Amino acid sequence: MKNRMNIENDSNTKKQKYGTGINFKVQQKLKVSGKEYVSRKGKSVPARKQPGLEMVCKCYNDGCKKIKGEEKKKLFNNFYSSDLNAQGSFCMSHIHLGEVKRRRNGKYTDPRESRRQSTIYYTLPDGSGSTVKVCKKPS
């Protein structure tokens, strides 16, 4: 009898949705600003670190080497000091789509049947007014 009552009480209670309440808004602001916050699962996520002066990336893009450490720090501070909409518009303005240069053999006869229809290029301003192609990996 006692177990049945617990089951009935459990079915009457509503489960709280994620993304509601004051605490969610505070945590979201901390996350967007790059500071330490507590995730939905209750784990503490450390703050974002500023990029160092040394090169971490070992990719084939020369643009990663062209951006200096001071410029990286400036981009980092500007990005995390802005709000979520400004961050999204910054990212979308520096992502460019291009054509696929080489198509691999597949089970399709027409290239339009391939799932890959474009190549994504990531660019960042280098401080002199121009943009350079960089890799997706943060360095």
**Alpha-carbon distances, residue 117 vs 56, 100, 103, 107, 133 (angstroms):** 31, 7, 10, 15, 20
For the packed helices 84-93 and 69-81, what is the interaxial angle rounded to 10 degrees? 130
Which pLDDT value is given to residue 88?
92
Task: Render pLDDT for 68-113 as a digit per residue (tens, 0 to 9).
Answer: 888 888 988 999 999 999 999 999 999 999 988 887 777 777 777 7
pTM: 0.69
Please classify residue 11 by burial: count the beta carbons closer than 10 Å to its beta carbon, then call 0-12 exposed, 13-18 middle and 19+ buried: exposed
> Which residues have C-beta within 8 Å of that of residue 113, sequence separation ≥ 6?
none
**Structural domain spans, the chain:** 1-48, 51-139
Element (H, E) at 6: helix 2-12
Distance in angstroms (rounded) separating the CA atoms of residues 21 and 10 = 22
- Judge whether residue 59 has pLDDT over 80: no
